[in-house]
Amino acid sequence: MRVALYLRVSTDDQTIENQRRDLDEVAGRLGWEVVAVYADEGISGAKGRSERPGFDQMMIGVAQKKFDLVASWSVCRLGRSLNDLVSFLSDINDRGIDLYLHKQGLDTSTIAGRMLFQLLGVFSEFEKSMISERVKAGLARTDKKIGRPSVGDWKINRVKKQLREGHGVRAVAKMANVFPATVSRIKKQMAADEAA
């Protein structure tokens, strides 16, 4: 059986080596021929195909039917969105390609395996939502804000004054020590206020 391995880690300080070792061991035991290895290192599973070059290349291989089975260490290595996971399974099944997930002991060449894969996707998405809720709750407890700090009224007035004097967006941003996007936003608001 021709097999493609897909490996992924979310952060740069993690390594794909453990995943590769486990899957190589399974391949040796089951007599698989590993014909391709695709990897995304330091990329979240919440990212789409366009932001995961290894996953994208694997899907090109799927479209070209270069292998009979995709093997991955765990369902969470493939993605975190139920819709994306179900779409992935549909894409590979349409090409007659099966899926093996090592940690879940899942083989989609069986009906029970396909059902279990969908259930695992539900739990993976649930886990992502729970993490998000915990982070939001933690930030609420500490009163920390995410994103850029807000611009004070005095800076906004300074930006408006500079813009009225005819200075460009980048020059005003430099003078007021703010981001050019902030100046552009203020400029648009000024134009909208004048038009009203």
| CATH code of residue 6 | 3.40.50.1390
Do 120 and 36 fall within a single domain? yes
Do 115 and 164 fall within a single domain? no
183: in domain: yes
Average pLDDT (102-124) is 78
Identify the CA nearest to 125 among candidates 76, 90, 162, 172: 76
Average pLDDT (62-69) is 95
Average pLDDT (21-26) is 95
Do 101 and 190 fall within a single domain? no
37: in domain: yes
Identify the CA nearest to 99 among candidates 167, 16, 1, 21: 1
Do 45 and 83 fall within a single domain? yes
Which residues constitute the domain of residue 179?
153-195
What pLDDT score was predicted for residue 132? 81
Do 97 and 178 fall within a single domain? no
CA atoms within 13 A on the CB side of 37: 14
Mean per-residue pLDDT of the chain = 86
User: Which one of 124, 140, 161 terminates a domain?
Assistant: 124
Q: How far is CA 182 from CA 164, 187, 190, in A?
A: 16, 9, 12
b/e for 96-132, b at 16 or more Cβ within 10 A?
Answer: ebbbbbbebebbbeeeebbebbeebbeebbeebeeee
The answer to pTM > 0.75 is: no
If one compares 48 and 25, the residue with the highest pLDDT of the two is 25
